[in-house]
């Protein structure tokens, strides 16, 4: 799959308006509070919800995207580096089959939390039809950045500054 196909595949199933968006149906803009769709189910059977004072790095990805595969190696490093700090990683797999996502995550050694509720997260964070897509939310719950595409290791690790 080439980059164009990856980008198109990511947005192909997006509805015009998602549940979980602000009352006006628009995701948060930089500087605005994020209307988190919590609690979100995670693949491990637990749930996720935002915690006060904890910055979030949310990564949208797919098992079929080669750019996501390289990007997620760095995301995994970031997740491990942030353990016990004031920021955390949450990922949203844009796939239909949870069993496939579990298998791929296990094969690739991903330990970061994975949710299949990507539509709800996209409604709150961004309508960008690009994967990988990295979104940062500060400790006050405000949207900071929406970063489309694959990032280099140094760029992903720099996101740890949200914890500092």
Q: Say how many domains are in the chain.
A: 1
Q: Is 16 within the bounds of a domain?
A: no
Would you say residue 18 lies in a domain? no
For residue 106, the domain's CATH number is 3.40.30.10
pLDDT in tens, 10-65: 443 332 222 344 445 578 899 999 999 879 999 999 999 988 889 999 999 999 99
| Assessment of whether the complete model's pTM goes beyond 0.75 | yes
**What pLDDT, in 10s, does the model give residues 88-147?**
999 999 999 999 999 999 999 999 999 999 999 999 999 898 999 999 999 999 999 999
Q: Strand runs (DSSP E) across the chain, as ranges?
A: 40-41, 47-48, 55-61, 87-93, 114-115, 133-137, 143-148
Which domain covers residue 135, as residue numbers? 3-11+24-163
Number of neighbouring beta carbons within 10 Å of residue 13: 11
* Alpha-carbon span 41 to 48, nearest angstrom: 6
Q: Tell whether 142 is covered by a domain.
A: yes
């Amino acid at each position: 799959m080439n980059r164009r196909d990856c980008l198109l595949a990511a947005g192909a199933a997006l509805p015009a308006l998602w549940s979980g968006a602000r009352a006006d149906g628009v995701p948060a803009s930089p500087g605005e509070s994020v209307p988190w769709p919590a609690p979100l189910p995670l693949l491990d059977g637990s749930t996720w919800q935002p915690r006060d004072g904890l910055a979030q790095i949310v990564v949208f990805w797919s098992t079929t995207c080669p750019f996501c595969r390289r990007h997620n190696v760095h995301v995994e490093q970031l997740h491990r580096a942030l353990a016990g700090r004031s920021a955390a990683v949450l990922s949203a797999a844009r796939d239909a089959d949870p069993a496939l996502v579990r298998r791929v995550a296990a094969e690739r050694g991903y330990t970061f939390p994975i949710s299949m509720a990507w539509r709800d997260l996209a409604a709150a964070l961004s309508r960008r039809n690009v994967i990988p897509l990295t979104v940062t939310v500060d400790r006050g719950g405000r949207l900071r950045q929406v970063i489309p595409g694959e990032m280099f290791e140094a760029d992903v690790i720099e996101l740890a500054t949200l914890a500092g």
